[in-house]
Amino acid sequence: MRYLPLTQDDRRVMLAKIGVASVDELFRDVPQSARAARFELPGHAGEIEVERMLEGLASQNVAAGSRPFFCGAGAYRHHVPASVDHLIQRSEFLTSYTPYQPEIAQGTLQVLFEFQTQVAMLTGMEVANASMYDGSTATAEAVLMAHRITGRNRTVLAGHLHPHYAETVGTMAGLVGEIVTGPVTPGQDENLAALIDGNTSCVVVQNPDVFGMVRDLKPIAASAHAQGALLIAVFTEAVSLGLVEPPGGMGADIVAGEGQSFGNGLNFGGPYVGLFASREKFLRQMPGRLAGETVDADGRRGYVLTLSAREQHIRREKATSNICTNSGLCALAFSIHLSLLGEAGLMRLAKINHAKAMALAERLTKVSGVKLITPAFFNEFTLNLPKPAVEVVDTLLDRGIVAGIRATRLYPHEAGLTNQLIVAATELTTDEDIAAFGRALEEVLSC
């Protein structure tokens, strides 16, 4: 096969080097129940026949918009205006993906500059970069950046930080330092201040957290700064910044987050767009790229790549970060969607999201035995059910309701979360969806 140049001996050497006996072992972390049987495609069929078969396979998926949908926990179903897709395809933006030559990449560079401005304004920070791969890798890069700034390598992670983000931090930063994680106590303060000491580089806190709780970060920022540590504020729902006080206003030193909510659909989990911002005094330690505005020899406005260490590309061992690109197309979609909204539109969208979540919480807590355990939330919250959440979610799915994320899916080894369900509502959640969820939940719990 001309597209697979490696020989069997090459493959054996590679597998031995990484410590596995076969290619199948690379997939051992994927549960057997989630693995599909081998697809038996027609051996000799025309294009139309193959397309029909693939369409049949695709139709077995449950699209988020096909039924009442209440999943969140890091990926949110929002309306993306049709104009976003139209605009991202315009020729002004179809310039070099890696804008090394500004004279032929002005469209790309200006978009990145505008994107950075929007992210800085959203987060309440002084500078932002030209995007990261996604929220989880942005969080890990923030931890590594804090290590470089403080000269320390001990990290305190909030127990309510999204577990996938925490795992990414462990993968990228765990090899170069100690990681301490706070307790998992949904709806309660974790008392992270007790975990901070003079060797702590940074404290990583998510707001709203993975259980949906909104909190004031000022006390934990003060505790971190008193020990010479930095506060890294993380978010997974960018729409919340239209209503919740931005992390920069609460004392955050570095902000990392996920921008999928603007301009980007769920897309089966990606690609997404990571947001990254910090105080200006830490600019030189920021990962990735930063576009800047300047003037040319004739005094005309222009844009250039102001910050992008060459070491990221040719001497990786000396780099502050090895991210060599950015989610350019997803960042463009983010920026266009946010531009279409404007400040007033963003605030109105955020209020609609919060109102939908309030209506959902009010309806579901009328169901006997259901308790709301998130005292303050934006558009996502956690419920305690009188039955194991896995049973409820599966039964509701059979009734056409995608009820949310059971907490044990995110924390499989954490005791006490068996009956807890994380649900989210957005502007796409209808009153009929909420009513259907409430009726179905009553029926399931009464059985």
Burial 44-65 (b: 16+ CB within 10 A, else e): eeeeeeeeeeeeeeeeeeeebe
Retrieve residue 106's tokens.
């002005």
pLDDT tens-digit series, residues 289-326? 899 999 988 999 999 888 876 555 667 677 788 787 77
Strand partners, 295: 301
79-84: list long-range contacts, CB under 8 Å, 24+ apart: 79/427, 79/428, 80/263, 80/264, 80/265, 80/333, 80/337, 81/337, 81/340, 83/336, 83/340, 84/263, 84/333, 84/336, 84/337, 84/340
DSSP 148-179: HHHS--EEEE-TTS-HHHHHHHHHHHGGGSEE
* Band (439; pLDDT cuts 50, 70, 90): very high
How far is Cα 411 from Cα 200, in angstroms, rounded to an integer?
A: 25
pLDDT tens-digit series, residues 62-113? 888 899 999 999 999 999 999 999 998 887 776 556 677 777 788 888 999 9
Strand partners, 305: 291
Q: Look up residue 64 and give its amino acid.
A: A
- The residues, ordered by sequence, that sit 6+ positions from 163 with a Cβ below 8 Å of its Cβ are 210, 410, 411
CB 257 within 8 Å of CB 248: no
Measured CA distances, 353 to 196, 240, 242, 385 (Å): 35, 9, 10, 23
pLDDT tens-digit series, residues 328-370? 889 999 999 999 999 999 999 999 999 999 999 999 999 999 9
How far is Cα 107 from Cα 112, in angstroms, rounded to an integer?
A: 9
Give residue 377's pLDDT: 98
Whole-number percent of the chain with pLDDT over 70: 95
CB 145 within 8 Å of CB 325: no
Give residue 410's pLDDT: 97
DSSP 326-382: --HHHHHHHHHHHHHHHHHHHHHHHHHHHHHHHHHHHHHTTSTT-EE--SSBSSEEE
DSSP state of 416: T
Give residue 228's pLDDT: 98
User: Residue 33: is it exposed, middle or buried by C-beta count within 10 angstroms (0-12/13-18/19+)?
Assistant: exposed
Residue 11 pLDDT > 80: yes
Strands 420-424 and 405-406: antiparallel
Retrieve residue 206's tokens.
């998510």
Alpha-helix runs per DSSP H in 281-327: 311-314
pLDDT tens-digit series, residues 397-411? 999 999 999 999 999
Give residue 319's pLDDT: 77
How far is Cα 244 from Cα 249, in angstroms, rounded to an integer?
A: 10
pLDDT tens-digit series, residues 171-195? 998 878 899 999 999 999 889 999 9
- The residues, ordered by sequence, that sit 6+ positions from 83 with a Cβ below 8 Å of its Cβ are 336, 340
Residue 378 pLDDT > 90: yes
Cis peptide before 271, with omega less than 30 degrees from 0?
yes
Give residue 327's pLDDT: 86
pLDDT tens-digit series, residues 220-266? 999 999 999 999 999 999 999 999 999 999 999 999 999 999 999 99
How far is Cα 392 from Cα 43, in angstroms, rounded to an integer?
A: 42
> Given its phi and psi angles, is residue 41 left (phi above 0), alpha (psi -120 to 50 degrees) or beta?
beta
Give residue 36's pLDDT: 75
CB 362 within 8 Å of CB 31: no
pLDDT tens-digit series, residues 189-209? 889 999 999 999 999 999 999
Cis peptide before 208, with omega less than 30 degrees from 0?
yes
Measured CA distances, 250 to 158, 198, 231, 246, 255 (Å): 17, 22, 10, 7, 11
CB 378 within 8 Å of CB 237: yes
Strands 127-128 and 274-278: antiparallel
Question: How many residues belong to the chain?
Answer: 447
